[in-house]
């Protein structure tokens, strides 16, 4: 065994304290500033809290938990806030007409620009989702219908975190996220220090309102867990986030998770493991429904939906978690769902509740608890590996800003390689045999195998060998990029993997530097048209003539449509090719 092993972990000469930017202020001072700022904030009253007679969503969840009242959640975010507001109204009225309880809460899936400081939003590239532009928009979040909002995507995590935390509290939103998104990069924003400072300060504002029931939420898969290979690492990561949010900043921290897991039994075990490392029992904000089991057959997706919902609800009921399962519309795999599609699955979700008492006592929970226990042991080990290593390497682990930035700059692969648990085994990508392999990684590896086999049958010829290809993702979605790079490598192309969250101008720079034959872009966030246009424009300016391919979700918000529309025709007009599959890409690359 070489001398670089720390416990079971290999350090490969990384010094974690070297990752800390020299301009990062003391995190404790940032917390003090945030706490002081929070003192002056008056929390508004939402229609939901008013109706329930509580001061915060958390207060109601604890009541619901004690009394066994099931809660539900939905994601919503159409092209503009106005359309989203009208959809909320429609969903609420639809539930009343159908005679089911309306949803308890919604996650506002705001557009990525909301993650930037207020004064930078108007000039930033538009993606899919609503932006809140003024005080009226914010107030309407809590005053349109008695469904409690979570200020979720792009609220806390980016450089605009502080602005959003203050606005959300003022209008009566008492659950605000998403801590894990601090690992994201926002378009044209590379100042890590100011981003982390804003997150820590916003978290401290929430900490100042902890006794009023305010909760700091984190949807785990938006951060590193979304690409971890082992569910034990999920649990360890959640412990790390909780350590920063609760122990170092003083906020009440909640997790939410679930979208990238298809197996309902595994989902139940992981949920219970997350609850077992939640000493203050802040209710898990929501359990996201499965988003990876769905296919283009929307009818078949009903089975995915109901299996997922039933097991989440049964787990919630049996263990009194006080969480809110989130029903995923059956069309979600293809597009942002409209209000009818959201209302449809909300009704199904409420109807499922009627079957819970009939089934619950027949389930062998012992097996699930055994799995939970293994994940808890693994998660605790991951947590202690991470903190122990940071401490040993001179990182001040009592400073929330330092702990966060080290974890961020380390990156998810290294993070799991170094701190991950499970027996050491180099035949696994991260160097450990996972305690429990994640569903998405398993699925992606199966897809990869299938593509590689079909490509091998195509007899890839000399023309593909030695082609220089830059591959990049415009956003956080990285599994397609992994499939693209591994397929291109398998046919001998020289791949320049430019990573995720890339701006068009930077891609052009790299293509020029490497004299690339082709640029291959994977994109999902509904920016395909503007991204492609800027890319082609930058290429022209730079005199670059590489061929360009795009794939993934090729749509964008267009005036007059409340959901993004297909933009392939436009891309073709400006010379961008859009092969349907990775195999087709090889054909067109030749
Ligand atoms: C996993 C996932 C995530 C994970 C990503 C984890 C990660 N580290 O990669 C998380 C939870 C972080 C996430 C976040 C978001 N997501 Co998401 N996500 C998905 C999901 C469920 C699966 C995508 C995936 O990885 N599939 C597996 C890969 C292997 O398949 P694939 O991407 O489809 O790629 C295949 C083909 O498309 C093709 N392909 C892909 N690219 C290319 C390129 C070329 C050149 C070629 C030839 C082929 C090709 O080849 C692949 C193999 O077959 C989809 C919904 C779905 N079920 O598809 C939504 C989805 C893509 N996400 C969506 C959105 C909106 C977001 C967010 C913006 C939401 C938000 N506001 O916060 C954020 C992104 C924020 C950011 N900073 O970028 C939307 C996009 C909607 C749209 N444009 O209409 C989708 C469709 C869900 C939805 N309906 O709302 N997401």
Alpha helices, H only, 289-433: 301-319, 339-353, 356-359, 365-392, 400-410, 412-419
Is ligand 1 within 6 A of the CB of residue 328? no
- One domain for residues 191 and 318: yes
For ligand 1, atom 26, the nearest C-alpha belongs to 479
- One domain for residues 458 and 409: no
Is ligand 1 within 6 A of the CB of residue 221? yes
- One domain for residues 171 and 305: yes
Alpha helices, H only, 251-328: 264-276, 301-319
Q: What is the CATH number of the domain that holds 68?
A: 3.20.20.240
* 527 within a domain of the structure (yes/no): yes
* 16 within a domain of the structure (yes/no): no
Cα 51 to Cα 145, 224, 227, 348: the distances in Å are 10, 37, 40, 24
For ligand 1, atom 11, the nearest C-alpha belongs to 222
What torsion do the CA atoms of 44, 48, 54, 56 make, to the nearest 10 degrees?
-60
For ligand 1, atom 76, the nearest C-alpha belongs to 476
Residue 359 lies in domain: 31-364
For ligand 1, atom 17, the nearest C-alpha belongs to 477
- How far away, in angstroms, is 334 Cα from ligand 1 center? 10
- One domain for residues 421 and 500: no
For ligand 1, atom 40, the nearest C-alpha belongs to 552
Q: State the closest ligand 1 atom to the C-alpha of 219, by its place in the atom list counted from 1.
A: 11
- One domain for residues 416 and 490: no
Task: Quote the CA–CA distance of 57 and 43 in Å, as a whole number.
Answer: 12
- One domain for residues 57 and 35: yes
Full pLDDT tens readout for the chain, 590 residues: 233 334 444 555 578 888 999 999 999 999 999 999 999 999 999 999 999 999 999 999 999 999 999 999 999 999 899 999 999 999 999 999 999 999 999 999 999 999 999 999 999 988 888 999 999 999 999 999 999 999 999 999 999 999 999 999 999 999 999 999 999 999 889 999 999 999 999 999 999 999 999 999 999 999 999 999 999 999 999 999 999 999 999 999 999 999 999 999 999 999 999 999 999 999 999 999 999 999 999 999 999 999 999 999 999 999 999 999 999 999 998 888 999 999 999 999 999 999 999 999 999 999 999 999 999 999 999 999 999 999 999 999 999 999 999 999 999 989 999 999 988 887 777 878 899 999 988 888 899 999 999 888 887 677 788 899 999 999 889 889 999 999 999 999 999 999 888 999 999 999 999 999 999 999 998 899 999 999 999 999 999 999 999 999 999 987 777 678 999 999 999 999 999 999 999 989 87
Given 328, 347, 364, the domain boundary residue is: 364
Is ligand 1 within 6 A of the CB of residue 523? no
410, HSE (Cβ side, Cα atoms, 13 Å): 26
* 51 within a domain of the structure (yes/no): yes
* 9 within a domain of the structure (yes/no): no
Is ligand 1 within 6 A of the CB of residue 585? yes
Q: State the closest ligand 1 atom to the C-alpha of 153, by its place in the atom list counted from 1.
A: 72
The count of structural domains within the chain is: 3
Q: State the closest ligand 1 atom to the C-alpha of 478, by its place in the atom list counted from 1.
A: 9
- How far away, in angstroms, is 477 Cα from ligand 1 center? 5
Is ligand 1 within 6 A of the CB of residue 478? yes
Is ligand 1 within 6 A of the CB of residue 444? yes
- How far away, in angstroms, is 110 Cα from ligand 1 center? 16
For ligand 1, atom 56, the nearest C-alpha belongs to 333
Task: Quote the CA–CA distance of 559 and 557 in Å, as a whole number.
Answer: 7
Is ligand 1 within 6 A of the CB of residue 185? no
Closest to 308 (Cα-Cα) out of 254, 258, 235: 258
Which residue out of 111, 477, 585 has the highest number of ligand 1 atoms within 8 Å of its CB and is therefore the one to mutate?
Answer: 477
- One domain for residues 193 and 327: yes
297: left (phi over 0), alpha (psi -120 to 50) or beta: beta
For ligand 1, atom 77, the nearest C-alpha belongs to 476
Given 418, 435, 452, the domain boundary residue is: 435
For ligand 1, atom 30, the nearest C-alpha belongs to 480
At 146, phi and psi to the nearest 5? -75, 65
* 376 within a domain of the structure (yes/no): yes
Is ligand 1 within 6 A of the CB of residue 476? yes
Is ligand 1 within 6 A of the CB of residue 293? no
Provide CB contacts within 8 A for 354, sequence distance 6+.
Answer: none
Is ligand 1 within 6 A of the CB of residue 335? yes
Given 364, 391, 414, the domain boundary residue is: 364
Task: Fill in the DSSP letter of residue 184.
Answer: S
- How far away, in angstroms, is 184 Cα from ligand 1 center? 15
Segment 411-417 long-range contacts (CB within 8 Å, at least 24 positions apart): 412/183, 412/224, 412/227, 412/228, 413/227, 414/14, 415/224, 415/386, 416/224, 416/228, 416/229, 416/230, 416/233, 417/9, 417/10
């Amino acid at each position: 065994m070489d001398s670089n092993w720390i416990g079971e972990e290999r350090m490969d000469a990384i010094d974690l304290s070297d990752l800390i930017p020299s301009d990062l202020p003391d995190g404790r001072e940032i917390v003090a500033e945030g706490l002081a700022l929070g003192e002056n904030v008056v929390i508004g009253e939402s229609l939901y809290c008013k109706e329930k007679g509580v001061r915060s969503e958390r207060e109601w969840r604890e009541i619901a938990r004690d009394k066994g009242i099931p809660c539900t959640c939905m994601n919503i975010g159409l092209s503009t806030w106005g359309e989203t507001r009208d959809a909320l109204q429609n969903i609420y009225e639809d539930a009343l007409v159908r005679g089911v309880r309306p949803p308890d809460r919604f996650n506002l899936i705001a557009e990525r620009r909301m993650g930037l400081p207020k004064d930078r939003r108007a000039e930033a590239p538009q993606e899919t989702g609503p932006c809140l532009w003024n005080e009226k928009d914010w107030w309407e979040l809590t005053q349109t219908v008695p469904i409690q909002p979570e200020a979720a995507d792009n609220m806390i995590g980016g450089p605009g975190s502080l602005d959003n935390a203050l606005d959300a509290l003022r209008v009566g939103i008492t659950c605000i996220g998403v801590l894990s998104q601090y690992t994201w990069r926002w378009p044209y924003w590379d100042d890590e220090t100011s981003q982390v400072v804003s997150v820590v300060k916003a978290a401290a504002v929430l900490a100042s309102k902890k006794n009023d029931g305010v909760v700091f939420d984190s949807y785990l898969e938006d951060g590193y867990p979304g690409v971890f290979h082992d569910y034990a690492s999920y649990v360890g990561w959640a412990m790390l986030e909780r350590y920063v949010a609760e122990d170092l900043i003083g906020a009440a921290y909640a997790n939410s998770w679930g979208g990238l897991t298809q197996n309902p039994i595994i989902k139940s075990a992981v949920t219970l493991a997350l609850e077992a490392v939640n000493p203050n029992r802040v209710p898990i904000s929501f359990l996201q429904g499965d988003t990876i089991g769905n296919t283009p057959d929307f009818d078949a997706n009903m089975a995915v939906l109901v299996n997922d919902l039933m097991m989440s609800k049964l787990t919630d009921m049996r263990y009194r978690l006080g969480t809110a399962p989130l029903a995923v519309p059956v069309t979600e795999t293809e597009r942002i769902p409209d209000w009818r599609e959201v209302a449809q699955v909300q009704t199904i979700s409420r109807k499922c509740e009627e079957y819970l008492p009939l089934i619950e006592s027949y389930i062998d929970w012992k097996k699930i608890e055994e799995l939970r226990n293994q994940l808890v042991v693994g998660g605790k080990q991951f947590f202690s590996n991470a903190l122990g290593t940071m401490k040993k390497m001179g990182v001040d682990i009592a400073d929330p800003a330092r702990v966060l930035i080290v974890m961020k700059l380390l990156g998810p692969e290294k993070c799991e390689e170094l701190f991950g648990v499970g027996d050491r085994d180099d035949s696994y990508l991260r160097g450990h045999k996972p305690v429990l392999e994640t569903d998405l990684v398993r699925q992606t590896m199966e897809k990869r195998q299938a593509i590689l086999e079909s490509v091998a049958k195509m007899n890839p010829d000399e023309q593909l060998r030695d082609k220089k290809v830059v591959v990049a993702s415009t956003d956080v979605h990285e599994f397609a990029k992994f499939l693209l790079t591994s397929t291109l490598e398998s046919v001998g192309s020289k791949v320049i993997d430019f990573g995720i969250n890339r701006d068009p101008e930077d891609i052009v720079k790299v293509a020029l530097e490497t004299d690339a034959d082709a640029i291959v872009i994977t994109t999902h966030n509904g920016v395909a048209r503007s991204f492609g246009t800027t890319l082609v424009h930058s290429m022209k300016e730079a005199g670059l003539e590489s061929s360009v391919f795009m794939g993934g979700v090729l749509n964008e918000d267009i005036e007059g449509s409340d959901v993004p529309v297909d933009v392939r025709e436009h891309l073709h007009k400006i010379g961008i090719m859009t092969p349907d599959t990775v195999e087709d890409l090889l054909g067109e690359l030749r």
